[in-house]
Each structure stands twice: as structure tokens, then as C-alpha cells.
């Protein structure tokens, strides 16, 4: 915050503000407030449902401001926008949330300065200038946001949690592209800038719908498919396999002694273990495989066009990776610990060898899990009745 304030003061002392600057500032601010009013319900819902870095559309206004008005007015715009968002779209924020809003506004101010500097370095205003400013804004914003999220909880920080997912970054890039186009419109035909409000409404609405779909289909602890969605996908896969006379493998993965983790370290630590195991299962399967959380400490995976033998190979990789995990977490008392030497018992079945329906196939895989448990745990077992298809740790 101190850096943003210092840069704003220096800019105010060194750079004069003309009436033309004030008119442009007023136009951009008015458009931004109008867009905020039109989309405030959507923005409120998006913020409530956000599970990572929240991306609003303030960049679409700050980028043109960085190129068209002096830096001190860019800072003023960021403060006005975030204050207005806090009052109209983010109702009921507490002291901690207010601090985060102030930090975000500071990040936007510094990102605006970064965009202005990059634009100045690019020379005469044109496509290259707008592109350079957008890149400068993106880099400064990403770096500052990532640093803030990392410092908030270094133990649990990951590239995705700090820098955002690919979809997050594409959304921010798309907003900056609109901001670049808006810059050219404001320069040449300012009244046409009103046309940007409807596309921004549609963009935010589409992002909200996508998030609602994710919540309806995804297990929120592990980000895998939830049981209902997995079952629906499995039914479609069995229909496809029947039509094409194909096969698929199915894995039932059950963590060993998971209750001991919850009892010893607490349920939040147990959640961290579930997340780590989910990441392993996702990494060791293909992009088109169906991977889900079946409930509790059970995970399921359906591997299209895969024989039982190949499914067992995949299961063994997963079992090995789980046994090698070292999971940093905290106990209920806040003590930092590392959970390791976890194991899993995995049952493997296939269609049509072990059943003609998804229920029969998964029942066979589940029965194989019990065989693995009874045989000492930490092993992969093919469906009951196929002793040749067993891999033991």
C-alpha cells in the first residue's frame, strides 16, 4: 500500500491534470459504475461461490485509464471502483475482508502503473502500445496477487492456488483484450464505449453459469467428479462400450486406516490427505478417464478402452504413488505436521468380463477391495475369482 501511495503522490506532484483528462476520467468512471450496477447481483454470486483467486472485470476499465489519463487518476479510479464494489456488490464484509479489498485495490493501482509504464516504453499510441500495456498490467497483477496469496499460507501454496488456473488466466487475458479494444474506442468514438457493457454482462454471466455447473458436478474437497456425475458418465461409457463392443477397466480405491488420520490429526488434516490422493489419481490417469470421489475415503476411476491387465498396471502406479506421499498439513491445535506412509487397497474389475452393468462391475471391484483389505492392505487385487490378476506390494 505504501508503494502505491508513494507513486500516486509523486505522479500528482510531477504530472498535471488537464480538463480533457478529467472528462476522460469521468467517462471511464461513469461507464465502470454503470457496468457494476448492471452486473452487481452476478458479481455478488460469483464472489460467494469463488474457491480461488476471484477475478472481477475492473481490468477492463483500468487498462484504458492507464493509457488515457495521468497515473494519479488511474489510482483514483481503482479506489473508486473497489469502494463501489464493496458497497454495492460485496455486502456485509468484515474487517478481514475489508483489509483484503484494500490490498486488492492496491494491487490494481500498481498494475495500472505497470500498464502505463509499459505503454510509455512502447512509444506512440497504437496496437503495440495497447498490447504492451496489457502485458505489463497482466504481469504486475499476476506477480502481486500470487505473492500475496503465497504469503497468506506458504505451507499450502501451490502454483494454481497462487497464480490461478489456466481458465483463470485466460479469463483475465480476455478481459484485458476487451480493455484494449475499449481504449481504441474511447480514443476515436467515445460514445460507442457504451456498447461494451452488454458483452461484459454476458461474460460475467457465462462465468457464473460455468461455476454453478462445476459445483453441481464436482466434489468440493477433491475437485474430482462427485458420485452422481461419475455414475452418469459411467452409464454413458457402458452404452458406448456396448455399441462398439469395447471394454473398460474400473478401479475402486479405498484409503487404509483413514479414520486414524482424522482421529489423530483432525478432519482438516484428513481433507488435505484426500486432496493429495485425488491429485495422484488424476495425475496417473488419462484426461478422458472418469475419476471421482465415491464417498468418504473411496475413489473410483473408469478407464475407457482398457483391459483388466492394463487397469491393474494403472492401479499399481496409483498405489505406489500414494505410499510415497508426504502431505504437509496442520493438526486441530495448529501444529504443522507431515503425514506420510499412507496406503490404499485397490480393487480392479472390467466390462464386460466382470459384469454387464456399471453396478455389477463396481460391485466386483468393491469385492476385490475387501479381498485386498483381508490380505493385508496396501495392494491391488483383480476382481474376485481371478487370482492370476493380483499385484501385491
pLDDT tens per residue across span 251-302: 999 999 999 999 999 999 999 999 999 999 999 999 999 999 998 899 999 9
Q: How many CB atoms lie within 10 A of CB 152?
A: 13
**CA separation (Å) from 182 to 43, 125, 230?**
21, 14, 43
Q: Is 297 a catalytic residue?
A: yes
Which has more confidence, 296 or 14?
296
The total number of structural domains in the chain stands at 2
State the average pLDDT over residues 196-209: 92
* Helix/strand/coil percent split, the chain, to 5: 65, 10, 20
The residue among 184, 217, 250 that closes a domain is 217
Cβ 222 vs Cβ 293: under 8 Å: yes
Residue numbers of the domain that contains 20: 2-217
The predicted structure's pLDDT at residue 95: 47
Q: Which of 102, 27, 20, 109 is nearest to 62 (CA)?
A: 109
Catalytic residue, candidates 284, 297, 298, 359: 297
Residue 222 in domain: no
CATH number of 278's domain: 3.30.70.270
What's the number of CA atoms in the CB half-sphere (13 Å) around residue 336?
6
The predicted structure's pLDDT at residue 388: 39
pLDDT tens digit sequence for 349-377: 999 999 999 999 999 999 999 999 999 99
Note whether 307 and 353 are same-domain residues.
yes
Rg (CA), the chain: 26
- Euclidean distance between the first and final Cα of the chain, in Å? 55
Note whether 212 and 78 are same-domain residues.
yes
Helices 197-217/166-188 angle, 10° precision = 170
Note whether 302 and 341 are same-domain residues.
yes
CATH number of 170's domain: 1.10.1760
Note whether 335 and 362 are same-domain residues.
yes
pLDDT band at 387 (very low <50, low <70, confident <90, very high): very low
The predicted structure's pLDDT at residue 169: 87
Amino acid at each position: 500500500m505504501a508503494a502505491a501511495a508513494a507513486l500516486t503522490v509523486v505522479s500528482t506532484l510531477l504530472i498535471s491534470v488537464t480538463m480533457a483528462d478529467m472528462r476522460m476520467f469521468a467517462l471511464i468512471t461513469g461507464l465502470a459504475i454503470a457496468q457494476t450496477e448492471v452486473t452487481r447481483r452476478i458479481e455478488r454470486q460469483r464472489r460467494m461461490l469463488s474457491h480461488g483467486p476471484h477475478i472481477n472485470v475492473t481490468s477492463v476499465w483500468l487498462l484504458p485509464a492507464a493509457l488515457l489519463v495521468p497515473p494519479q487518476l488511474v489510482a483514483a479510479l481503482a479506489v473508486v471502483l473497489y469502494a463501489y464494489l464493496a458497497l454495492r456488490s460485496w455486502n456485509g464484509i468484515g474487517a478481514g475482508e475489508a483489509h483484503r479489498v484494500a490490498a486488492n485495490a492496491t494491487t490494481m493501482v500498481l498494475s495500472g502503473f505497470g500498464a502505463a509504464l509499459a505503454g510509455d516504453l512502447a512509444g506512440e499510441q497504437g496496437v503495440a502500445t495497447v498490447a504492451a500495456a496489457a502485458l505489463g498490467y497482466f504481469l504486475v497483477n499476476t506477480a502481486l496477487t500470487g505473492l500475496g496469496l503465497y504469503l497468506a499460507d506458504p505451507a499450502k501454496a501451490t502454483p494454481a492456488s497462487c497464480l490461478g488456473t489456466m481458465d483463470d488466466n485466460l479469463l483475465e487475458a480476455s478481459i484485458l483484450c476487451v480493455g484494449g479494444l475499449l481504449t481504441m474506442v474511447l480514443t476515436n468514438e467515445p460514445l460507442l464505449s457504451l456498447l461494451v457493457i452488454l458483452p461484459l454482462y454476458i461474460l460475467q454471466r457465462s462465468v457464473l453459469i460455468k461455476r454453478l455447473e462445476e459445483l453441481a458436478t464436482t466434489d468440493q474437497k477433491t475437485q474430482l467428479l462427485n458420485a452422481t456425475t461419475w455414475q452418469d458418465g459411467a452409464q454413458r461409457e457402458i452404452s458406448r462400450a456396448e455399441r462398439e463392443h469395447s471394454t473398460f477397466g474400473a478401479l475402486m480405491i479405498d484409503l487404509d486406516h483413514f479414520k486414524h488420520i482424522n482421529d489423530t490429526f483432525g478432519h482438516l488434516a484428513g481433507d488435505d490427505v484426500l486432496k493429495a490422493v485425488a491429485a495422484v489419481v488424476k495425475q496417473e490417469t488419462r484426461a478422458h478417464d472418469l475419476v471421482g470421489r465415491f464417498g468418504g475415503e473411496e475413489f473410483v476411476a473408469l478407464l475407457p478402452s482398457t483391459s483388466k491387465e492394463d487397469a491393474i498396471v494403472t492401479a499399481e502406479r496409483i498405489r505406489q504413488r500414494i505410499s510415497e506421499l508426504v502431505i504437509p498439513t496442520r493438526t486441530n491445535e495448529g501444529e504443522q505436521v507431515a503425514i506420510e506412509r499412507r496406503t490404499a487397497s485397490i480393487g480392479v474389475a472390467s466390462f464386460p468380463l466382470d459384469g454387464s452393468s456399471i453396478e455389477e462391475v463396481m460391485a466386483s471391484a468393491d469385492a476385490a477391495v475387501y479381498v485386498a483389505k483381508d490380505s493385508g492392505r496396501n495392494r491391488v487385487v483383480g476382481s474376485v475369482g481371478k487370482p492370476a490378476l493380483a499385484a501385491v506390494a
